[in-house]
Structure 1
Amino acid sequence: MTTTWAVITGAGRGIGAVLARHAAKEGYRVAAWDLDGEAVHAVAAEIGEACVPMAVDVADESSVRSAMAELSAAPSLVVNNAGIVRFGPLLELAAADWRAALDVNLTGTFLVARVAAARMVAEGVGGAIVNIASINGLAAAPGAGAYTSSKAGVVKLSEHMALEWGAHGIRVNAVAPGLIDAGMSEPINADPAARKARSGRVPLGRLGTADDVAEAVLFLGSEKAAYITGQTLAVDGGITRGALNAMPRGAATDPSAD
C-alpha cells in the first residue's frame, strides 16, 4: 500500500502542531519538521504512528534535502508553516533580524517547496503545496516590516511556483491567516484588553483558531481544490476587507437618519 505523505514544517507547536494533527486525521502519514527536535517529537508522540518527527532547519538546504530523502515517496502535500517574527521599526531594526525573518519565512519556504517539487517531478507525480503567508503580507503592519516583507514575498513566490510547476501537476497556493489565537500571537492575546480590541476589529467578531487555518489548508491540499492554484486565501474573519468598518461617515450617509 502506497504511503501518502504530508510534510508540515514548524510542526513543533502552535498552528503547525494543529496542522499535523489534522493531516493525520485525514489519513496522511505526516512528516513533522521543526528546528526544535524535542518539541516536534512531543507532538508526534501525541499523534501516534501516523506522525514521523524530524529536526529540520528549513533555511538550510542540506538539512531539507536530508529530511526529504527520508520519505519513502514524494509527498502529496507540503505545508510551509515554519516562521518567525522580528519586531521593530525599520529605522532601528537590526540587519540580523531582517535576515533571520527572510531566511526562515521566505527562503525556507522556497527551499522546502523546491526540494519537494523536484522529487514530485522526478517520480512523475503531482501534489499540492500550501505556503503559510499572513494578512501582514497583504497589508503592512507597524513595527513588523521584516515579517510583512517576508510574507508578501511568500504570496508572490506562491504565484510564481504555481505558474512554473502547474504543467507537472503541482498546485501551489497560500493561506494568509489573520488574527489567530495561537502560535506567535498568543503573547499578544494573553492581554485581555488587547484581546478584546483585536476581536472587536474582526467583522465576524472573534479571533480565529488554529483549526480554522488547518481546515483551509487541508481543503487547498485536497481534490476538492483540484482546479485552484496560484491563489492566496485569507483566513481572517473579514478583517482585511473591514478597514473602513470603524470609520465614522456622519448622518448625511446614514439611511436611518431623519
Structure 2
Amino acid sequence: MAEKWAVVTGAGSGIGAVVAGAAVKRGYRVAAWDLNREGLDALAADIGDGCVTRACDVTDEAAVEAAVADLPTSPAVLVNCAGLVRFGPLLDLSLADWELALRVNLTGTFLVARTVARRMAAAGQGSVVNIASINGVAAAPHAGSYTASKAGVIRLSEQQAMEWAPLGIRVNTVAPGLIDAGMSDAIYADPEVRRVREGAVPLKRLGTSDDIAEAVLFLASEQASYITGQCVTVDGGLTKATLANLPRPASIDSVGTDGPTGS
C-alpha cells in the first residue's frame, strides 16, 4: 500500500507537534515544518521514522515551493498550524506587529495551502485543515492583529473550499478555544486565571492539544469525505455560552404561561 503523506506546519511545538504525532499513529508519513529546529529535533526523536522534518518559513514563497517539491508524492493531508500572536491594545499596536501576525497566520496559510493544493489537484484529491481560533469567531480584548488574522483564515478556508472542491480537494477549519498548550502556556501559569477561564467553559475544563488533533484528523479522514468549507469550533461550548455566564434569579426558572419570558 502506498504511503500517505501529511504535511504539518508549525510542528515544532504545541498543537502542531501533537497533530504530527497523532498523524503518525494513524499511519501517515509526516512532513513536519517549522522554523524551530530544536523543536523539530525533539519531535523527530519522539515519533521516530514516521516523521521527516524541515526548517521552513511559511511566509517565504521560494522556501515553501522547494519544500513541497521535495515531497516524494502528493500529500493526502495538509494541516496549517504555523502561527504567532502579538497581543496588545490596538491604539498601541505597532504596524510591524500588526503586519507580522497577518503575514505568518494568514499569508503563510495561503502560501502553503496554495502550493500544496497544486500537487493535490494534479493527483485529484487531498484534504486541507487550517487552524484558526475562537479569536477569529469572536473578538477579544487586546488581541491585537491575531483576531483579524484568524478571522481571515476562516474566510480564506471557505474560499479555498469553494474553488478547490471541483479538483477533489476538501478544505476545513478548526478553531481551538481555551487550549492549555503552546502559545497559552504563559496565560495558564497563573492559577487564578486558569480557575476563572475553566469556570467560563460549559464543560468546565480547558481544552488540550489532543482535543484539537482529534478534530483535525477527523476532518482530514475519509469519514469526513462529505464535509468541506466548514469551521469546527473546539471550545467546550465557550462561544455559545454568553447567557450561561450571566446571572438571573432562580425564581424565574419555571415553565408555564404565568412566568416572565425572555432571557
What's the TM-score, normalizing by structure 1? 0.97
Structure 2 SS opposite 1:136: helix
Instruction: Give the percent of matched residue pairs that are identical in Structure 1 and Structure 2.
Output: 62
Whether 2:175 is the aligned partner of 1:176: answer yes
Q: CA RMSD in A?
A: 1.3
Structure 1 SS opposite 2:245: coil
TM-superposition CA deviations, 1:189-238 (whole Å, max 9, x none):
11100000000000000000000000000000000000000000000000
Aligned residue number for residue 18 of structure 2: 18
State the Cα distance separating 1:69 from its structure 2 match: 1.1
Aligned residue number for residue 211 of structure 2: 212
State the Cα distance separating 1:252 from its structure 2 match: 5.8
- d(CA) in 2 for partners of 1:128, 1:143: 33
State the Cα distance separating 1:38 from its structure 2 match: 2.4
Aligned residue number for residue 153 of structure 1: 152
State the Cα distance separating 1:85 from its structure 2 match: 0.2
Aligned residue number for residue 47 of structure 1: 47
Structure 2 SS opposite 1:91: helix
> Match for 2:208: what amino acid?
T
- d(CA) in 2 for partners of 1:38, 1:67: 19
Q: After superposition, where does 1:1-258 map in structure 2 within 5 Å?
A: 1-122=1-122, 124-250=123-249, 253-255=252-254
- d(CA) in 1 for partners of 2:78, 2:4: 11
Q: Runs of 5+ in structure 1 lacking a partner? A: none
- d(CA) in 2 for partners of 1:204, 1:77: 30
State the Cα distance separating 1:248 from its structure 2 match: 1.8
> Match for 1:102: what amino acid?
L
Structure 2 SS opposite 1:108: helix
Mean alpha-carbon deviation: is it higher for 207-216 or for 2-11? Answer: 2-11
For the 8 Å contact 1:41–1:54, the answer to whether it is kept is no
- d(CA) in 2 for partners of 1:73, 1:251: 61
State the Cα distance separating 1:36 from its structure 2 match: 1.3
Structure 1 SS opposite 2:91: coil
State the Cα distance separating 1:70 from its structure 2 match: 1.2
For the 8 Å contact 1:7–1:30, the answer to whether it is kept is yes
For the 8 Å contact 1:131–1:174, the answer to whether it is kept is yes
State the Cα distance separating 1:250 from its structure 2 match: 3.0
For the 8 Å contact 1:137–1:151, the answer to whether it is kept is yes
- d(CA) in 1 for partners of 2:121, 2:251: 60
Q: Runs of 5+ in structure 2 lacking a partner? A: none
